[in-house]
Structure 1
Amino acid sequence: MSVTSVFDPEAVSSELPRDARSVFELAARSMFQLFAETAEGMMLVDRHGRVVWISEGYKQFLPALGFQHESDFVGHAVDEVVPNTLMREVLRTGRPILVDLLTNKAGTFLVSRIPLRDEAGVVIGALGLVLMAHPESTMQPLMKKFSRLQQELDDARKQLAEHRRPKYTFASYIGSSPQALEVKRQARRVAQTDSTVLLLGETGTGKELLAHAIHAASSRAGRPFIGVNIAAVPDTLLEAEFFGVAPGAYTGADRKGRDGKFKLADGGTLFLDEIGDMPLPLQAKLLRALQEQEIEPLGSNHVIRVDVRVIAATSRDLPRLVAEGKFREDLYYRLNVVPLRLPALRDRLADLEALVEALEDDIARRTGMPHREITAEAYALLRSHPWRGNIRELRNVLEQVIMMTDDLRLEARHFRRALRAGGVQAGAPIEAPGTVQPELHGSGARGAAQPEDREIEPAVSTAAGPAGSELQPLPQAIAELERRSITAALRKTGGNKLAAARLLGISRATLYEKLAAHGLRG
């Protein structure tokens, strides 16, 4: 035959079957023959995942897989005889896996998996091919990349496990007073359920710590703990923060979309801090998510099922907000399934020394500074303080004192300076058992220390100012002015923190910081 006749359409067509079905069958047989000649082994499984045939070449792998005879292998479920196989995934999805690395006790193989369909297009089985055995010898670059990716995957899994590890446990909630023990008893009990928990208490009482502890003691401890501070997120972004954003939901949105906190917490626990500050329009959507365990991302019509246990916390008076129409009554009852009230520090002063020791240990560990001894006189002063900022304020004062002096023995004088710098007047020290209170303004044992006392507590003129008020140290006067301004702004706006922050010319987050610093309840 001449060269031209090879490419003659009439010559070619005369050698092929006339109907398309026969051409297709011929192509299939040719393809199968090509696979059989080039592959090192082939396998067929039926629609149920049972091995129905293996090629002669595939039999070489049977001993390494633990089988002596073909009859011991054929007829069994493919995932029972071939570890790590993805043949069932091909049967389930109907999508081929053309190139993959399979590793099991028989070695590492370059494999391909192809679904088989009937005339109606229904998957009736799958073909598995071993393209290359032990590719590490002939495909070193690919194997190195595979090894590197596997290592990165292992590292990512370790990091994820570390991230999911609970940050705090019940041991982190320091205290053996009756009040502390009762809170821990109730929290341990509720941790064994999936009920919604509402943590109530003043700022700084440890609500977030207890939420972590409840999660750590629950059956969800191995799943994510996701927290969101509602007061720290602008109202316009809260819906996206909670429920996520669909791809291209609005101009500038991520083309891949973004998961919200509910989706990230799926299977685990979602902690909603400062729930009392949630805007009314969003409360209805939160209620639906809690009741139905369904969310709808922003810009999407697709409903996503989630399994989330919710722990909410607030320092505000929710019943009062409900009465004022600022918080939905139905949402309040949905959250208030198991209420736990955390005691203020001034109500469990028996735990003060244990708390100070734990905080001092943590500060020393974080800063690398030496441990300090705290005198009985200092503890007496601390017990007399109102602690409106609770444990958060206690840590702040302790850290200030440690950072501002090299003394290894901390006395009352060190703490007076820190308490006054915070704009809060220290209360009169309570006499500790077995100790004698020093005379600060008279003769006696402490008389020689008066110059040092004057350095810590400078003499202030009591001459009346222009308005007839007593002159105060500047930090205290500034703090008092801040308190008055914040109180006036909140009164003018009916307690609306966002509006109050705008009146004061500060952000809402800054307003919350100042409320906590001054011990104010908004």
Structure 2
Amino acid sequence: MPPSDTLRPDDAKRHGLTRELIEALFPLFEEASAGAIAVDQAARITWINQSYAQLLGLTEPAQAIGQPIQTVIPHTRMPEVVNQGQPLLLDIMEHDNQQLVVTRLPYFDDKGAVTGAVAFVLYDDLQPLTPLVSKFRRLHEDLAAARRALARSARGTRYSLGDFVGASPAALEVKRRARLAAGRDVPVLLLGETGTGKEVLAQAIHGASARADRPFVGVNLAAIPENLLEAEFFGVAPGAYTGADRRQRDGKFQRANGGTLFLDEVGDMPLPLQAKLLRALQENEIEPLGSNRVVPVDVRVIAATSRDLGKMMADGAFRPDLYYRLNVLEITVPPLRERLADLGVLCEALLADIGRPGAMAEITDDGVAALSDYDWPGNVRELRNVLERALTLGEDASLLDAADVFRVLPESMARVPACGSLKPVRPLARVVADAEASAIREALVAARGNRTRAARLLGISRSVLYEKIAKMS
């Protein structure tokens, strides 16, 4: 337990709490929680109890003492609590593919200065909180929609990092690098197949950066005829050519000045324009078509491509010097087939977006399982298309099952197991129940019958373990 003389400031009495009461309540919080931890004013771990150490995979609590908390718990918000001196009473934190409900409280010295913070894991399993989480998710979706509408009118962006849906290790790594990119004003190169969400990430990086209140201007290089690209990029001086407008026409660089320029499908850029783009990025200035006047510009470039730039450089189709200029921070967006664990949450998010107003569309577990039997060459964009078609053609417009999915999936692209590997199919509920029962029996043996330790070994809460044992009997 943290030192009693630094738990709370004297002015705690103003909130109806005395220091003695806080000291009396602390052991109760610790006992009722799935783990507790404390840090000092530099966000270094000063204390951690045994249950939290086991939750984090540490053999001994002493391993964590003295370490910065972010090295042990990467997604923690404890430094924020220490820096701002404000509690975070209820938060969902991701750690090692599990979601924890956490409360965090700052503590003070006698003069009211923050000297550290303490956190309790209230729940290490969200199953009992499903109704509350569902309501929170709906509210979050409504808030996200309002933010997108506001962003669209204010600065031309629709997406935030929350719109890149997924909690698999691959998706979390993409989000981590995107946050890193948002905090650094350097060029970013997004690599990935078509439909993986590169534009979503580009807008999210801009929206979380210091340029968020400035323009975001996107241009798809594959969609503009080659003879118009230079004018699109650098603008046109009055009367630059026969039929040209007599007024100055600004290009993408001028429109994005002070903000972010998103170059989608940069691998489709012709070589002559590559040289001019490189000069603009190096010199921070452009020369409009038909003009001798140099215009200074300040843009942050985010480029994206589904092509293999390494091979294009070897073939002489892409300039290496431009590649190195664009690729200061690289983010590789994995294809959907490499993060099938995200299919369930992706379906939930997409169905909430494409469903009929006032009717929440859902998909069954066997429907998600059917989707995982497909290679997804079009990735998330194709997944949205499949769900839209399934909703349109399905008998029940609010619930999709495996039959609805198989009706619209191209059979030629489905993964088919080898004949020798086919086994009799059992009901999924029976398979899951048998696997759970086996795992629980093994955990109880390993814990010598101690149900609390068995729950920790299984990574579930004690209440959930008791419920599952009752169902087994």
Three-state SS of the structure 1 residue aligned to 2:409 is helix
For structure 2, the residue ranges without an aligned partner over 5 or more in a row are 1-148, 418-424, 432-473
Aligned equivalents of 2:357, 2:426: Cα separation in 1:
33
1:414 aligns with 2:412: no
Aligned equivalents of 2:427, 2:351: Cα separation in 1:
21
Contact persistence 2:347–2:363 (CA under 8 A): no
Deviations 1:426-459 (A, max 9, x none): 33499884268xxxxxxxxxxxxxxxxxxxxxxx
Aligned equivalents of 1:165, 1:375: Cα separation in 2:
36
Residues 161 and 341 (structure 1), Cα distance of their counterparts in 2 relative to 1, 3 Å cut: closer
Q: CA deviation at 1:424?
A: 4.2
Aligned equivalents of 2:347, 2:302: Cα separation in 1:
28
Aligned equivalents of 2:150, 2:430: Cα separation in 1:
52
1:213 aligns with 2:201: no
Q: CA deviation at 1:193?
A: 1.3
Deviations 1:254-299 (A, max 9, x none): 1112100000000000000000000011100000011111011110
- In structure 2, the partner of 1:175 is 166
Counterpart of 1:222, as a letter, is D
Counterpart of 2:362, as a letter, is E
Deviations 1:272-328 (A, max 9, x none): 000000001110000001111101111001000000000000010001000000011
Structure possessing the higher relative contact order (Cα contacts under 8 Å, 6 or more residues apart): 2
For 1:349-360, what aligned pairs fall within 5 Å after superposition? 349-360=340-351
Residues 313 and 234 (structure 1), Cα distance of their counterparts in 2 relative to 1, 3 Å cut: same
Aligned equivalents of 1:431, 1:402: Cα separation in 2:
28
Question: What's the C-alpha RMSD, in Å, of the aligned pairs?
Answer: 2.3
Aligned equivalents of 2:204, 2:428: Cα separation in 1:
36
Radius of gyration: which is bigger?
Answer: 1
Residues 206 and 287 (structure 1), Cα distance of their counterparts in 2 relative to 1, 3 Å cut: same
Aligned equivalents of 1:379, 1:435: Cα separation in 2:
18
Q: Which moved more, 1:308-317 or 1:401-410?
A: 401-410
1:345 aligns with 2:336: yes
Aligned equivalents of 1:432, 1:337: Cα separation in 2:
50
Deviations 1:361-420 (A, max 9, x none): 0001xx437323312221111011101111001001001111223413312121112113
Q: CA deviation at 1:345?
A: 0.8
TM-score computed with the length of structure 2 as normaliser: 0.56
1:390 aligns with 2:375: no
- In structure 1, the partner of 2:415 is 427
Equivalent of residue 235 in structure 1, options 211, 217, 226? 226
Three-state SS of the structure 2 residue aligned to 1:434 is helix
For 1:1-400, what aligned pairs fall within 5 Å after superposition? 162-164=153-155, 166-364=157-355, 367-368=356-357, 370-400=359-389
Aligned equivalents of 2:286, 2:361: Cα separation in 1:
51
Question: How many residues are matched?
Answer: 276
Counterpart of 1:427, as a letter, is R
Aligned equivalents of 2:324, 2:214: Cα separation in 1:
27
Deviations 1:323-367 (A, max 9, x none): 000011111111111111011111111111000000000001xx4
Identity %: 61
Contact persistence 1:191–1:218 (CA under 8 A): yes
Residues 431 and 358 (structure 1), Cα distance of their counterparts in 2 relative to 1, 3 Å cut: farther
Q: CA deviation at 1:159?
A: 9.2
TM-score computed with the length of structure 1 as normaliser: 0.51
Contact persistence 1:380–1:431 (CA under 8 A): no
Contact persistence 2:252–2:261 (CA under 8 A): yes
Deviations 1:196-248 (A, max 9, x none): 00000111110000000000110000000000000000001000000000011
